[in-house]
Structure 1
Amino acid sequence: MQAELKLRIASGLVLAAVVLAATWIGGFAFQLLSVAIGLLVYYEWSTITKLPERDFQGNALGWLAQVVIAGLVLLDYMHISLPGLALCVLAAALWVLIKGTSWWLPGGIVYAGLTSISLAAIRGADYLGLMAMLFVFAVVWATDIFAYFTGRAIGGPKLAPAISPGKTWSGAIGGAIFGVLAGVAVFMAHFSLEDLRIPVIALVLSVASQIGDLFESFVKRRFGVKDSSRLIPGHGGVMDRVDGLIFACIAALALVLGQFLLAGGREVAFGAILLGL
């Protein structure tokens, strides 16, 4: 076995152990993980888009925004985290308009901020949150794995050759099918499948995951970067590992907010809505 492959496997096992342990514990442990991922995502985003060189003061504003979001998440002020993020993005947008600098600044604040918020909101601290997070993990990981193997086995027309030449329509469809099956399997391991919204939710999250993968590929191609960083030995950067997860979690959060509004603003449990209970 080559040294690079051994390193990739070892670092992957360590990452999986940390993520699953924090997911199982929930509460502050998972909030801390969510914040760490969000901060690392902003670091990689700002590095890829060269924000420190383009706009040092604006990038400092971006870091301040991430600290604010991190504080709200860690203090469990989830009910004001999205308004807090919106204010940070507004401040960054005004900075760009006044200084004429890069719109990649507010884009990075949104991308990294929603990463922390959506992850922490899904997991929460109860059993339903644990099941909801495992549901999302199952969909995203199965989509990613089987999109690769299905695409390699079947081939065919390219999905988005200008963005990611290796991805095919067969891989995207195969990944979506197995992502839905994995999500349904996780759900049925704990609940009875009486609500047909569950496969639909899994499909939405699978598609969102693949869009997230393409989005990160677009950003890296736009700036001529192969990996988002070298933070993870053998794997590249954090964004390279969580690009699909980010968009899937954001999609899940959007589904919940939509249900919340349709329910007339009454208090609802995130996990209960996500899992259709």
Structure 2
Amino acid sequence: MLKTRILSACVFVPLILIATILGGWFFAVLMLFVAIVGGYELQRILAAREIRFQFPLFCGFTVLLFLCSLLSEYYESMSLIILFLLFALLAILFVFGKLRAVDAGLSFFGSVYIGLTLSTMVVMRVQMEQGIFLIFLVFIIQWLTDTGAYFVGSSLGRHKLMPKVSPKKSVEGAVGGIVVAVISALIFNAFTHILPWGWLILVTVCASALGQMGDLVESAFKRWAGVKDSGKIIPGHGGILDRFDSLLFIAPFLCYFLMIYTNLIQ
């Protein structure tokens, strides 16, 4: 299993790094692919509970969001308009009896959970200063939190974090993941100067904790649906949602923090 995971990483990590460096449409298309596959996996998970996730609407909503994040300077207002249109369309389908409330509600939730959150990655890469470094910071926090939590939890883990949701995760591992992420982010910031040190530590601690929360949310979701993995597209890692679940929490947090920081704090 470990060998398979390493081989998969050797294929996917360079692809992500190249797309991040190239930016623009290359990065947007990669993130859109991740979002669409993630939506398909979510449809599969919800189908296990006989919930009809509106995948075509999800795809249309996600494409519009990504175009907005890539081309529009008014992402915040445009994304709210697109979000309202999706809500209105799902509400109309519900009122006319085409969808149950749970179908409409979870279709809306899934579109925000995957489509909206991943579009913030494109906003950071394309529309913000030092965009390439911001994306690298996101991946550093995500990957090093996972790595730190795994090794610290494996060697020192004694107290279960949420045993009913994810039995293997420990409090020690969670703290270790945050510490490793902070140290790694500080080293990266020494060369890139993205944020003042105090703000960087605060942001990294929050983002690392949110990333681990995202992992737990997806685990709880799969357990509720009775599904082990979200998919099999990444050998040794499972599906897109299995690999990017923490990113769905880290990316929007960092994106909206930077919007507030740039406009109000800096």
Instruction: Give the TM-score category using the shorter length.
Output: 0.7 to 0.9
Percent identity of equivalent pairs: 30
Q: TM-score w.r.t. structure 2 length?
A: 0.87
In the alignment, is the contact (CA less than 8 A) between 1:147 and 1:173 conserved in 2? yes
- Which residue of 1 is the match for residue 188 of structure 2? 186
Closer/same/farther in 2, CA of residues 13 and 84 from structure 1, 3 Å limit = farther
In the alignment, is the contact (CA less than 8 A) between 2:166 and 2:219 conserved in 1? yes
Q: Alpha-carbon deviation of 1:158?
A: 0.9
Q: Paired residue for 1:40, among 37, 42, 45?
A: 37
Matches within 5 A, 1:122-201: 122-124=124-126, 128-191=130-193, 194-201=196-203
Q: Alpha-carbon deviation of 1:116?
A: 2.7
Q: Does 1:13 align with 2:6?
A: no
CA distance in 2, matches of 1:154, 1:8: 23
Q: Does 1:60 align with 2:56?
A: yes
In the alignment, is the contact (CA less than 8 A) between 1:78 and 1:121 conserved in 2? no
CA distance in 1, matches of 2:35, 2:82: 13
Q: Alpha-carbon deviation of 1:154?
A: 0.8
CA distance in 2, matches of 1:60, 1:52: 19
CA distance in 1, matches of 2:183, 2:72: 34
Which moved further from structure 2: 232-241 or 83-92? 83-92
- Which residue of 1 is the match for residue 115 of structure 2? 113
Q: Alpha-carbon deviation of 1:90?
A: 1.8
Q: 3-state DSSP class of the match of 1:196?
A: helix
Q: Over the residues paired in the alignment, what is the CA RMSD in angstroms?
A: 2.5
Query: Unaligned 5+ residue runs, structure 1?
Result: 264-276
Closer/same/farther in 2, CA of residues 84 and 31 from structure 1, 3 Å limit = farther
Query: Unaligned 5+ residue runs, structure 2?
Result: none
Q: Alpha-carbon deviation of 1:44?
A: 1.0
Q: TM-score w.r.t. structure 1 length?
A: 0.84
4+ aligned runs moved over 6 Å, structure 1: none
CA distance in 2, matches of 1:174, 1:87: 40
